[in-house]
Every structure is written in C-alpha cells, then in structure tokens.
Amino acid sequence: MSGAIHVLNGPNLNRLGLREPEIYGHTTLAEIEAMCRAAAAPRELVFRQSNAECQIIDWIHEAIDTGAAAIVINPAGLTFTSVPIMDALKMFPRTVIELHISNIHRREAVYHHSLVSKVATAVIAGLGAEGYRVAVQAAGRLAV
C-alpha cells in the first residue's frame, strides 16, 4: 500500500530526554524521529508532536484525507482522557498502533485504562524509545 506512516506524539513528549529519565529514558524526540525515519525507509514518514489535543485530531483527519498507510500514535496523557482522539482514530480505516515508552500497566492505576486501545490494531508498551522502531516496522508490514 502506498501512503505515509504518520507518527503522532502527544503532550510532554517534546520533553523526552529531560522529563523523568528514570521512566522515559534519555533519548530525545529528535533522536526518536531519526530512528523512525530509518525504520520506515523507503516509505514516507510524517512525524509530529503537539501538546494540544485539537492539533492531534487535525493530524488524524489529515492522515485519513491523504490516504496514510498507518498511524503510530503515542497519545501520552491523552490516552486516558481523550474521547475525541479515540473517535478520530475510529474513522481511520487502516492500521493504528498505540505506543507507550513505559509499560503503562506497571504504573499507577490512572494509567491502566486506555481509550485508544479500544480502537487500535495493536499496542506496544514498555520497550522504551526502541518501541518506536518496532511500531514503525510493524506498521509498514501491516500496511501492505
């Protein structure tokens, strides 16, 4: 299948490498983007981050409208609260991979109930920054 893989990142992920490195590691979002681009090649990759829920929804709509091959999404804190992101992802007719750097199920109870999991094709959690490479490679394989 043609079309780009869209990697969408939610709130506070722009602070990777600085924010709680004991949980999220020392890898920056720029380093993760480079890892994703290498993993996606030769397929086009769209890589974005926003702290605003409405922007992420607009990017999901763009992925729908442009015929994206897959969406890899780390909604961060919006995973557990955003019905609008869940509803937007429901409209995407292809592969959606939910991604978390930490294992959300080993964390506090507030992190245990993902709204996004209800509409995702697959969920990857707990692999650290390496999870992005795994997710992009899987998205490429599932998007054939």
Active-site option among 6, 26, 61, 100: 100
Asked about 113 being catalytic, the answer comes back as no
Asked about 100 being catalytic, the answer comes back as yes
Active-site option among 24, 26, 61, 105: 24
Q: Residue 32, annotated ligand binder?
A: no
Q: Residue 51, annotated ligand binder?
A: no
Q: Residue 60, annotated ligand binder?
A: no
Tell me if residue 16 falls in helix, strand or coil. Answer: coil
Q: Residue 82, annotated ligand binder?
A: no
Cα(61)–Cα(43) distance, integer angstroms? 20
Distance (Å) of CA 70 to CA 11, 84, 103: 21, 19, 22
User: Residues annotated in the binding site for substrate, as ranges?
Assistant: 74, 87, 101-102
Tell me which residues are annotated as active site.
24, 100
User: Residues annotated in the binding site, as ranges?
Assistant: 74, 87, 101-102
